[in-house]
Amino acid sequence: MSTKAEPVPGRRAKRFAPAGGGRARQDLLAAAAFLGPFIILALIFQYGPLLLMVKDSFYDYTLITPDLKTFVGFDNFVRIFTDQGTVKSLIITLLLSVGVVILTIPLAFLLAMFLNGKLPARGFVRTMVFLPVITSSVVVATLWTFLLNANGLINSALGSVGISQQPFLTSGTQALPAIIVLTVWQQLGMATVLYLGGLQSLPSELMEAATIDGASPRQRFRYITIPLMSRTTVLVVVVITVFALQSFAPAYIMTGGAPNGTTNTLVYLIYQTAFTLQQPGYASAISLLLLVIALAISLVQMRLLRTRWDY
Amino acid sequence: MTVSTARPSSAQTSTGAPLPAGAPQRRVRQVGRILTTLLILAVIVAAFLGPYVWMFASGLKTQASIFTDVVPISWRTFIPVHATIDNVTELFADRGIGRALLNSALVAVGQVLGALAVCCPAAYALTRIKFPGRNVIFAFILATFMLPSEALAVPLFQLVGTLGLQDTLVGVGIPWIANAFGLFLLRQAFEGVPHELDEAARLDGAGHLRIFWSVILPNIRADLVTFVLTIFLFSWNGFLWPLIAIQTPEKQLVQVAIAQSVSPGELPNWGLSFAGASIATIPLLVLFVFLQRLLIPGLARSGLK
């Protein structure tokens, strides 16, 4: 088109011309070229599996002979809530998430307060706490397998203060709490960094004004810091929950879901159901449930963060 | 207590200073505060550094000395006195860890390059080009951000099989190239570049490609490093998907190789597992310690899903 060769003033004139001149069309073409690859890949590898998952959850088949499919309607979904193993796995995954959140939030908050003060080794502490965040779940689970072993470091430490050997991963009552603790260890750095960002963006004028008005440190903490940190808390809760909901490596590496299914997290159950039991249809239905839970949490977060939390 | 540690009490000292009677009491409180700080530091070092040092040290020990050194806990637990590299040699010679490291590196580099090639232009279009439906497309991408990747593993396995990419390194990396998180990171960075810059370039006759390449990209170098590091880290540390996607042992990624050396029920060789875990972790630790200023913001924002 002639617009391409037009001198600069012409282009400017075109932009102010009414309704879709050459510029608008050019922009549209450019947008398509710039966005196209991303959109195509997202359609294939994000939306593709999503649709496939919804479809598969209505069928019964194996991965070996995927063409021999039987339509089973809502059977797979009914099975989720009637199969005791699956219900137990769902409860365990939720317990894991709740446990991790309850422990991480106060610890991360205190740690962030601690790091926000004048501390000589601040950078060093932050680096240390953040190490598990950049360490793979596989290495974390491997390391903790040995830490928690009968001959491991933790039992040795307990022994030196006179506490008898604990079974940890082989005990029905201790295995899940142990996995909760290692997940907290793994995510504490992330939560702390998020809180630290929140604390550093606190308006200092507010603190000064409160101090001048005679508010005690305790009052400033209770009536300024905590309320202003509520947005950050919503964020941290969601990040940690979604991470814990997808817990897989501890079950795969440390326990195999044992003892007695007490560490059988949903993602491990999905993996076993699809690839060991060869029931990808049922596994898809469970995946869909996991997805709905994660989406619901994200939507609640968006809602909570959209409301203005002014103080 | 937490408040006083967090906000070193400038107010208290200024009001307390003129009163000599308050001085001894203040000193007691100061000593107490220092002790509390040291105690917290000690707990953090023990809880976070201790396990890593134990892991690195034990990777350089024989199975027997790992066990004799762990009870009772002493400096020997954390320092390999008779260090041996037998575990490392065995991992490279017999267990194919070199191959696994190479595979992981190939997938991670490919994923980083692919993500750069796809996300940068997309971020440009979303911040610099006005076109109808921009918000719809943005919402469409935003939605993929909320999909938990582990939940998509089973259908993705079938899809990658249909595309003929099963059991290939390409199949491991390609699904995560259109990375919504990466796009958000870059979108924010692009927004940070003043629009006057590209207005000026446009008046000089520059087209979109020119503005993208010569105006925007050079201005967001630090964010690009954050982007590269974060994608690399996610790729390197991934587990469930590589476990499912690859069947041939020679194509295995390093995380899968380590995981399978400690499968439950088997009696693991502690020294080998520690050495393997150390080898898979050390490159990232080095990267992190030197570049954490660039890496932490990326990871912190990756949590913003």
User: How close A230 gets to chain B, by Cα (Å)?
Assistant: 15
Interface membership of A209 toward B (CB under 8 Å) = no
Q: Give the whole-angstrom CA distance, residue A270 versus residue A276.
A: 10
Note the pLDDT of residue B65. 83
Question: Alpha-carbon distance A10 to A41, whole Å?
Answer: 37
A267 burial class (0-12, 13-18, 19+ CB within 10 angstroms)?
buried
CA dihedral B89, B94, B95, B98 (to 10 degrees): 60
CB–CB contact B2 A113 (8 Å): yes
Task: Answer yes or no: pTM beyond 0.80.
Answer: yes
Residue B224: predicted pLDDT: 92
pLDDT digits over A269-295, tens only?
A: 999 999 999 999 999 999 999 999 998
- Facing B262 at nearest CB: one of A63, A129, A145: A145
CB within 8 Å: A48 and B289: no
Under 8 Å CB-to-CB from B290, ≥6 apart: which residues? none
Contact list, A290 vs chain B (CB under 8 Å): 148, 150-151
Domain residue limits, chain B: 2-84, 90-302
Q: Which residue, chain included where needed, has tokens 């943005």?
A: B138
Give the nearest partner residue to B131 out of A27, A37, A287, using CB atoms.
A27
Pairs across A and B, CB distance < 8 A: 301
The shortest C-alpha distance from A9 to chain B (Å) reads 8
Residue B85 confidence (pLDDT) above 50: yes
Say how far apart CA A206 and CA B281 lie, in whole Å. 43
Low-confidence winner among A222-226, A268-272, B20-24, B93-97 (lowest mean pLDDT) = B20-24
Residues in chain B closer than 8 A to A33 (CB atoms): 121
Can you tell me the ipTM of this complex? Answer: 0.85
State mean pLDDT over B113-117: 96
Mean pLDDT, range B169-188, rounded to an integer = 92
Q: A142 and B259 in contact by Cβ < 8 A?
A: yes
| pLDDT bracket for residue B80 (50, 70, 90) | confident
Say if the Cβ atoms of A157 and B73 lie within 8 Å: yes
Q: Give the whole-angstrom CA distance, residue A207 versus residue A53.
A: 51
B239 vs A275: CB contact, 8 Å cut-off?
no
| Mutation site, B97, B154, B227, interface A, largest A CB count within 10 A | B154
Instruction: Choose, out of A11, A38, A44, A255, the residue to mutate when testing the contact with B (most B CBs < 10 Å).
Output: A38
Q: List domains and CATH numbers for chain A.
A: 2-56 (no CATH), 76-306 (1.10.3720.10)
Residues B65 and B82: beta-carbon distance below 8 Å: yes
Window A:5-64, CB contacts with B under 8 Å: 8, 11-12, 24, 27-28, 30-31, 33-35, 37-39, 41-42, 44-50, 52-53, 56, 63
pLDDT at B299: 75
Do A42 and B144 count as a contact with CB atoms less than 8 A apart?
yes
Percent with pLDDT over 90 in chain B = 39
Structure confidence by residue, pLDDT tens digits, B136-169: 998 888 888 888 888 899 999 999 999 999 999 9
Of A34, A110, A283, the CB nearest to B125: A34
Query: Does the pLDDT value for residue B198 go beyond 90?
Result: no
For chain B, say whether A290 makes contact (Cβ under 8 Å).
yes
Closest CB from A30, A39, A151 relative to B67: A151
Per-residue pLDDT, B245:
94
Domain B90-302 has CATH 1.10.3720.10: yes
Tell me the two tokens of residue A14. Answer: 């075109």
Q: Is B234 exposed, middle or buried (0-12, 13-18, 19+ CB in 10 A)?
A: buried
Q: How much is the pLDDT for A308?
A: 54
- Tell me which chain A residues have a C-beta less than 8 angstroms from the C-beta of B144: 42, 46-47
| Distance (Å, whole) CA A129 – CA B48 | 6
Local structure of residue B296 (DSSP, 8 states):
H
B74: chain A residues, CB-CB within 8 Å: none
Most A CBs within 10 A among B150, B252, B256, hence the mutation to make, goes to B150
Please indicate if any CB of chain B lies within 8 Å of the CB of A246: yes
Q: What residues form DSSP beta bridges with A60?
A: A70
- Listed as ranges, residues in chain A with pLDDT below 70 are 1-21, 307-311
Interface of A with B in 165-204 (CB under 8 A): 185, 190, 193-194, 197
A102-106, A303-307, B70-74, B179-183: the lowest-pLDDT one = A303-307
At B266 the pLDDT is 56
Is residue B32 pLDDT above 60, yes or no?
A: yes
pLDDT at residue number A65? 81
Please tell me the predicted confidence (pLDDT) of residue B267: 63
pLDDT in tens, B245-292: 999 989 999 999 998 876 555 567 888 899 999 999 998 898 888 888
A251 contact partners, CB below 8 Å, separation of at least 6: A179, A257, A263, A264, A265, A267, A268
- What pLDDT does residue B1 have? 35
